[in-house]
Amino acid sequence: MPGCHCSTDPVFDGVSSAYRRALKAVIGINVSMFAVELGAGFLAGSQALKADSLDFLGDSVTYAITLAVIGMPLAWRARAALFKGVSLALMGVWVLASTIQLSLAPALPEARTMGVVGFAALLANVTSVLLLLRFRNGDANVRSVWLCSRNDAIGNVAVMLAASGVWATRSATPDLVVAGGMASLFLYSAVLIVRQAAAELRQAATA
């Protein structure tokens, strides 16, 4: 309302040229790494790399949606965040199901490729995290970007640990464990995003 002076700062909604530039750079990074990791995942026979590549793809799409709805009313931004949360949950379910299926007849991944590509992906995601660090707090639409980027960095560290485990044990178990852990992280982040988006939709409805 005009003349209303609130005691709390407004929630950052992404309306910033600096945020748009950072988001565009992060989208480019994610699209590139999706292609690299997907190819490497099939070549190395690594479920963890495939899971991480899908995370890159999902992030590329959701970041583009984030960019598209910046400046729109709260209800549209909350709906976009809700869509991203549900998509992240579906991706987590798919990764978890495929990991369980592969655990019934595991094949040994190629540890060296996992380690090298995992390290490259880690560098890409650390760059993304640094670009987005000052924008980590905001509405559900903005926060979902931060959570996805954080998940990526955690996932890349996990892939490298899985590569070390595969090399040390000559077993596919570390790769499958990491893929399952990443799926759980996807599901947890999806819950956080959906909860905040639902709260913002209620807020928009009562405004």
Tens digit of each residue's pLDDT (9 = 90 or more) over 153-162: 877 787 778 7
CATH of the domain at 144: 1.20.1510
Distance CA 132, CA 148 (A): 11
133 neighbors 19 (Cβ within 8 angstroms): no
In a domain, 158, yes or no: yes
Distance CA 3, CA 45 (A): 62
In a domain, 8, yes or no: no
pLDDT-derived band at 24 (thresholds 50, 70, 90) equals very high
pLDDT at 9: 58
Distance CA 62, CA 79 (A): 12
In a domain, 22, yes or no: yes
Instruction: Encode pLDDT of 54-103 as tens digits.
Output: 778 878 887 888 888 888 888 888 888 888 788 888 878 887 887 777 67
pLDDT at 118: 79
Mean pLDDT computed over every residue of the chain: 81
Which has the minimum average pLDDT: 6-10, 45-49, 128-132, 135-139? 6-10
In a domain, 138, yes or no: yes
Query: Which domain does 151 fall in, by range?
Result: 17-206
Which amino acid is it at 24? K
Distance CA 160, CA 84 (A): 27
In a domain, 113, yes or no: yes
Contacts with 182 (C-beta within 8 Å, 6 or more apart), sequence order: 48, 51, 52, 55, 95, 151, 155, 158
